[in-house]
Amino acid sequence: MKIITYNVNGLRAAINKGFAEWLQVEQPDVLCLQETKLQPEQYPAEIFSKLGYYTYLCCAQKKGYSGVAILTKTKPDHVVCGMGIEKYDNEGRFLRADFGDVSVVSVYHPSGTSGDERQDFKMEWLKDFQEYVLELHKSRPNLIICGDYNICHEPIDIHDPVRNAKSSGFLPEEREWMTGFLQTGFVDSFRYLNPEKQQYTWWSYRFNARTNNKGWRIDYCMVSQSMKSRIKEAYILNEAVHSDHCPAVLKIG
């Protein structure tokens, strides 16, 4: 199974930049999208059905904001939108699809860059997300949780760890949360197979950051420990330019 996670920063905008053509070449079995920024009636279903994909959306109440999706070539046994927590589910941040004994999640963690209020919201989300996932793990032990976590875990994951030490996305408490989350029984698939590789998945639109590769690795394909032995490949597609993010790929056997 080939799984790709991609924060498209507006699916309709990405389509205008050749996203569908890119998808036709990559042919993932499952595609997890974040920041779709559309409502169900705005989804260009025909484009993706022609490529052989079933689509499941979990949209934000606010138009043009957030939203996650899962596109899959195999129809899932079961799909769940949200975590049952209204303040998060209203923002369209969590979508799960079950395939046999494996569950794939597309998740979009909040950003805290707009100020203290959203940073506090982000920290609350991280706590509640972890509690929800650990409870889910009891009934669905084979979890693949892909998406934009909006956190760089270690200095290797960010171009300038010193100057960004007080930036949302690389704050000590966020990094500490990530360490704790991994210790509860999850594996960062890219880092597991590439312990010393410095590669990024997001670049600011300012200061020619992408041209100069001044990026952050904030998009992850996490798997539960029970899936660790099934990780075959994990890599990042830096050449995909439909967004300020790029895709991360996980292949499992």
Please state the separation of Cα 182 from the chain's center in Å.
16
In this prediction, residue 129 carries a pLDDT of: 98
d(CA 5, CA 1): 13
Contact 110, 125 (CB under 8 A): yes
The tens-digit pLDDT sequence of the chain (253 residues) is 999 999 999 999 999 999 999 999 999 999 999 999 999 999 999 999 999 999 999 999 999 999 999 999 999 999 999 999 999 999 999 999 999 999 999 999 999 999 999 999 999 999 999 999 999 999 999 999 999 999 999 999 999 999 999 999 999 999 999 999 999 999 999 999 999 999 999 999 999 999 999 999 999 999 999 999 999 999 999 999 999 999 999 999 9
In this prediction, residue 110 carries a pLDDT of: 98
Q: Considering the entire predicted model, what is its pTM?
A: 0.98
**Residues catalogued as catalytic:** 148
d(CA 164, CA 174): 13
Instruction: Tell me how many degrees the CA angle 241-154-224 measures, rounded to the nearest 5.
Output: 85
Which residue type sits at 1? M
